[in-house]
Every structure is written in structure tokens, then in C-alpha cells.
Chain A
């Protein structure tokens, strides 16, 4: 209870006006929480769009429930129109990748955790940090607005391949695609401001004694992710500006009939796009590592090889982009070199999986809600990683490229991997963020429902892919060879709806616990990290005095100690007692 007393006394000293405290705040914790609400909203938007996709694939040509509410131009008679379908596919990917998963991992956890975990009072550049959040508002707003403009939103896939995307005559989309481009450029700026901040903060603001090799793996992961983002996102922004110029001021970067090169778009996009895949998985790996060590009450197995594996993934991540382009018309010999680099990047990923297993080995595993989600992350990442090997092999890729096998793979990595880690992280740090706990019981209900329906939704997609079903087709029953697969599509759709409904449990638990949740103590999970040594929620400035770090990040079950965890700031003298 002293925790609350301290928090209260600090809150009393905090005389910032309401608008500086909760709206245009420069406090990294407030910004992290702002990112949390914003990206959960976009997760909902992306999820609803996915429901539209699944309805059409499961029951092609039949009126959608509530579809009658949509304008006739979008869904005549409540039936999704082909162009609407292309928009759904495009915007589902766009919202999920840029506005849900990436800000959930980076915007939320990098902001909230980095200063707290390294013992800093705030970020190195609090104002830049505030801007990085507030730029997401126009960016996300424009992307949302593009759903409602004449001609509809972008319908060229989230990869917006030129020249389909750049030529309104081909896509039927005018303003929607331009808004997409402007939104992504602003998003890129937001991401850069954030990344500069995370990198500077980790380099300069570590508390005394917090050596590089005492950083928790979550901080390592977020740091490496920021380096990836700062190198990759400008390429995307540049390419998108070129695409915007092609549409608006008559340039021809990607127009072949006047000397442009469509493949250049793909190279630029995937030079960003592949590091982006790791931007979306490395923080998840970091978060899962922290939570698994905590849940198993054991030091992470092979801490330094975990760090080196992440550095290797980050480096190799920049030389594998061509594996998205094996069948693109790129020189097949070049494809062979990309096959080798892609195969090699599987090795550090495998190392990480084995180290998580090593961490569980001879542990004392507490099945808390965060731990269950972190374990699901490992179990699902194994599937997503293994299915990636099929695509790495160029001849096999030739058949499964652009099919539902790829859709299954990306969702095993991005949902099974990243989103389970996000859920783990939210359940784990919620008490620190809000000073109250989420219900463990309902958390477990949410976990079980999500885990079951997630697998029933996405695993059968592998079979669709082997059957040859292409992604992004409005109506698979047009093809004779796909018609026998239709029962699988119906099965997937039903489970996708149940998966979507299961998230209501999370929403109610999340919102309800803000008001009714059990009050949280400082360290409800008996964790070793610095963030648990301050109040829940921490006061402005985080720590009453600068902490000093004496130990590595995962000192659990140290022999000879009564407690099974050793907080990193425990002075060595007290250690024995």
C-alpha cells in the first residue's frame, strides 16, 4: 500500500494542466497509453474489414448480414461488389500492418517500457515523442477518410503494386489511392520520430549500472527494431512519394510505356517490406522473452545468443527482400541468391525458439494469462517459421506463391506471433499502466477462445493454398479446380466470425478493469525489471530517485535466496540476506 501512498504524493506534485497531462502530453507513459487506445481502435477496424472478406469468401454473392446498411455503390443489395472486395483486402492489410500491429508493438511498448526498463525519467526527446503520436492522428484519419471518398479506397492490395496502383484508369481508384500515399508518408514521419527517440534514449539514458548486456531482451528488441525502422521506412516514404507523383503530377517512375519500370516499385517496396516483417516480429520476441522468463521463474536460456540472434535477423532482414519477388520476372539467378539468404535467416529464428524451450526446461511454470499468451506466441511462431521454409525454396514457391499458403503463413507470424505477444504484453503491463489488474479468469477465457478459433481459422488456409487457391480473388467458385475447396472456406469463415466475437471478452475485460479492476501493487508478477520497483502507475518522472542497476535482467530462482526473484536494483549487500 506504500506504493499508492508514493504515487499519490507524486501525483500531488504533478501540477501540469489537464491538456498537457492527458492530451498533448510529453510523458512517455501517457504517449504509450495513447498509442494503445489508438491502435486497439485500428485493430477493431482491421478486424471488421476481415469479417467482410470472410463473408464474401465463405458465401460468395450472398447478401452480407447488415450489408443492406452499406451504400448501393459499395454493396448492391447487401452483396459485396468485386471492387469493394479489393478495397477490403487492401485496407485490412494496411490497417493491420501500419496502424494496428506496428503501433501496438512499437508505439505502445517502446514508448511505455524503454524509459521504465532502463531507469530513465522519460525519453531523450519528449516533444518529438509527442509529435510521433500526434502525427498518427492525421495519418490514420486520412486512411479512414479514404474509405468514404468517391471512387473508394485503394484497391491494389496493401503492397499497392504499380502500375495498377499508380494509374486510376486501371484500378478505378482516384482520390482513395492518393490519400493512401499521403497517409503513409505521414505515418513514415511518425515512425522516424519515434525511432530516433528510442535509439537515442537507449544509448544515452540508461541508469548507472545498466550495461548493454544487462538490458532486458524486450529493450534490445525494441532498440534493434528502431534501427530497422530508421533504415527501412524512409525507403517506403520515398517510393510512396514517387507513386503519388506518378498519379498527380505526371511523372512516370513506374509507367512502362514511357520508360518507367514496374519492378522498381516492387524492389523499393520490399526493401522496406521485408525489414518491416521483422519490425513486426522482433518486439514480439522481446516481449515474449521477458514474460517467459518471468513465467518460468528462470533466467532466459542463452541471453547473449538471443541478443546476437536478433542482431543477425536484423542484418539478414535487409538482404532477403527478393524472396517476395521470385516469380516477378526478376532474374532467376538473382532469385537463387535471395533463396540462400532467406534460408540462412531461418537459423537465428530457430536459435530463438530453442532458447525459449531451454528457458522452460526445469523451470517452475506459472500459467498466468500473460504467460499463456507468450507460450502461444512460441507455439504459433514455430508453425509460421516452418511454413516460411516452403516459400524460401524457389521451385516450391513457384506453386504456392500468391496462394492461401502465404495468407496462412503471414497470419501465423503476424497474428499467431505478433498479436499473441501483444496480448501477453497488455495483460502483463496493464497493472503498471493503469494501476489496476485485468481479470485473470476472463483473460484465460479470452486466451482459450482466441487460441482455438485462431487455429481453426488459419490452419486450414494451408490446405487451400496447397489446393492452389489464389489470394485476393473475389469469388473462388469461378474456378472449377477451386470449387471442391469451398467447404473449407465456409468452415474458415464461421471460425473467423467466432474469433472476432471472442475479442469482445478482451474488450470488456480491458475496459471494465479500468474502472472495476482489482488495485495493483507495485510488482504483481514478482518480476525483476526496474519498472516494477516504482509505483503502479508510475508518477511523472518515473522514479523518485535515479535507480542503480546491479544485476542482469533475469535473475529468477537464484540459489540461496528466499525469494525466487532478484530485482535488478537490489544492492549486492542485501542479496545474501
Chain B
């Protein structure tokens, strides 16, 4: 039974998980302490005959203590989060030599445009593959994420990466897969009738396996766009 994070397969996933655990331990400790205090008070100060509540209006000292401590902890959490965020999402810091792949989201499929043998996007030898993303392990990728219709979200749980695809915008997403395997890409923003089945496979392979796959594709074979995914009758009629 697997009831926790999917195992991490990207260069940044480990750091995201660590940050999650830091917050989990801090909030977990606060949770236990505060709820325990609440329970102790409920038992200890329950109504009993012959005992009156003590008239206390407050304490400035206590207020200062319980304002300062959470403030310090919380602001340090923000400071602690910032470098990782900047590393993942700040496009200025992305590796310059990263491979580029075009990712276009549309109802209800993912279209990946590979640069072809010349290694450049936007040239004649580009080819398109639907719902199948092939990556080489330990190589940097920058996806150029677009949407043709509505807002979608590019979510690869095993990579801990999530980014909305917004029509009218090109958003760059950096990823470095570190473990070979087959993972799932999900749409994580409600995008219409077929949102739930807008998934793709992410295949992370070795350099040689990738080269063999590239060979098997034959540039001409898959450059024709696939037909649009239309909703089926059972999903409800527009």
C-alpha cells in the first residue's frame, strides 16, 4: 500500500519533500502542544462545585511572547522557502544548455513538440507526439508550456512539479529527471468534461534507449497532428 508521496524522480523533488517535512515537524509539534494544552485545560478546569473561575483579563507579557515566537518561526519558514522557489521557478536561473520541448495543453490531451535532429524548436524537423513525453535521465529540460483553449495544469507528481498552462502565455518550466522509469502527467486544473482523463505518460530513459526511440519515430511519421479529442456521449453533451 502506497499512501504517501510517490517516490521522487527529479533533481528538486527531494528538496521539496524536505521542506514539506520541516513544516510537518514544526506544525506537528505545535499541533500536539496546543491541542494537548486545550485538552488539559478542559479536564483540569471543568466545572466543579465550590470552585469559581479566576478573574483574569489578560497578560501583556503572554501576548508579546505568543506574538513573537510564531512570527519568528513563520518568517524564517518564508526565508527558508525562498531560495528553492527561486531555483525552481525563476526562469533567469535555468540552465542555459537545457533541451527544449514544446508542451501544448488542449482539451483533453497533451502535445509534446520535440526539436528533432537539429536540437532546435521551431524548425522544420520538429515532430509532435501526443500524450507521451520521452526524456533522458539526468538531462536538463525546459518545457515551453502553452494552452490552446482553457487553463490547464502541468503536474508530474513524481517530479513534484506543477505549473498552470494559460492560453495566451508561454510559461517556461525547468525539470531534471533523475530516475529512469515511467511516470504520469496529470492535468491539475479543472478544464472541462474530460479533465479527469487528461493524462500523459512520462518516460524517463537512458541516452541509448532514448536514441533508439528517436530512431523508431522517423521524423515524418508523427508530425501529422492527431485528431482532436472530442467528448464522448457518455460524458454529457455540450
Contacts and interface: CB of A to CB of B under 8 A. Distances in A.
A393 B63 contact: no
Contacts of A523: none
Interface in B35-88: 35, 37-38, 41-42, 45-48, 51-59, 62-63, 66-67, 70-71, 74-75, 77-78, 81-82, 84-86, 88
Contact of B62 (A260, A358, A364, A383): A358
Nearest to A74: B236
For A81, A395, A559, which residue has the most chain B Cβ atoms within 10 angstroms? A395
B169 to A, nearest CB: 5
Interface string B181-202: 0011011111111111101000
A389 B86 contact: no
B54 A362 contact: yes
Interface stretch (A38-46, A220-228, A348-356, A532-540): A348-356
Interface stretch (A20-28, A229-237, A466-474): A466-474
Contacts of A247: none
A346 B54 CA distance: 30
B38 A378 contact: yes
A357 B44 CA distance: 13
Contacts of A172: 192-193, 231, 236-238
B165 to A, nearest CB: 8
Interface string B145-163: 0000111010101101111
Contacts of B56: 298-299, 301, 358, 361-362
Interface stretch (B15-23, B97-105, B125-133, B212-220): B15-23
Interface in A320-335: 327-329, 332-333, 335
Contacts of B161: 398
B63 A351 contact: yes
A390 interface: yes
B5 A467 contact: yes
A387 B27 contact: yes
Contacts of A155: 192-193
For A329, A364, A472, which residue has the most chain B Cβ atoms within 10 angstroms? A329
Given A403-B188, A478-B199, A564-B52, A393 B157 contact: no
Contact of A364 (B48, B86, B158, B164): B48
Interface string A283-298: 0000000000000111
Contact of A296 (B26, B45, B183): B45
B168 interface: yes
Q: A interface, by DSSP: helix, strand, loop or mixed? A: helix
Interface residues of A, number: 107
A163 B30 contact: no
Nearest to B1: A484
Interface in A339-392: 339-340, 343-344, 346-347, 350-351, 353-355, 357-358, 360-367, 375, 378-379, 382-383, 386-387, 389-390, 392
B2 A467 contact: yes
Contacts of A488: 3
Given A161-B190, A302-B58, A481-B184, A363 B45 contact: yes
Contacts of A383: 31
Given A302-B59, A468-B5, A353 B160 contact: no
A71 to B, nearest CB: 11
A261 interface: yes
B122 interface: no
A378 B35 CA distance: 9
B57 A360 contact: no
B83 to A, nearest CB: 9
Contact of A474 (B55, B90, B195): B195
A357 B63 CA distance: 12
Contact of A402 (B3, B12, B82, B188): B188
Contacts of B95: none
A369 to B, nearest CB: 15
A51 B63 CA distance: 43
Given A167-B150, A329-B166, A467-B4, A396 B66 contact: no
B196 A386 contact: no
Given A329-B171, A333-B90, A366-B47, A263 B166 contact: yes
B234 to A, nearest CB: 6
A298 B84 contact: no
B52 A86 contact: no
Contacts of B192: 86, 155, 164, 170-172
B34 interface: yes
B118 interface: no
Interface of B: 1-6, 12, 15-16, 19-20, 23-24, 26-27, 30-31, 34-35, 37-38, 41-42, 45-48, 51-59, 62-63, 66-67, 70-71, 74-75, 77-78, 81-82, 84-86, 88-90, 107, 149-151, 153, 155, 157-158, 160-164, 166-169, 171, 183-184, 186-197, 199, 231, 234-238
Interface of A: 73, 76, 81-84, 86, 89, 151-152, 155-157, 161, 163-164, 167-172, 256-257, 260-263, 296-299, 301-305, 327-329, 332-333, 335-336, 339-340, 343-344, 346-347, 350-351, 353-355, 357-358, 360-367, 375, 378-379, 382-383, 386-387, 389-390, 392-396, 398-399, 401-403, 463, 466-468, 470, 472-476, 478-481, 484-485, 487-488, 556-559, 564
13 contacts: A151-B238, A328-B166, A335-B85, A339-B78, A353-B34, A357-B34, A360-B38, A362-B54, A395-B85, A399-B16, A478-B196, A480-B184, A481-B158
Given A151-B238, A302-B57, A379-B35, 12 more contacts: A73-B236, A81-B235, A172-B193, A301-B58, A327-B164, A357-B34, A387-B27, A389-B27, A390-B27, A395-B19, A402-B155, A481-B184
Nearest 3 pairs of A and B residues by beta carbon: A256-B168, A83-B236, A172-B238
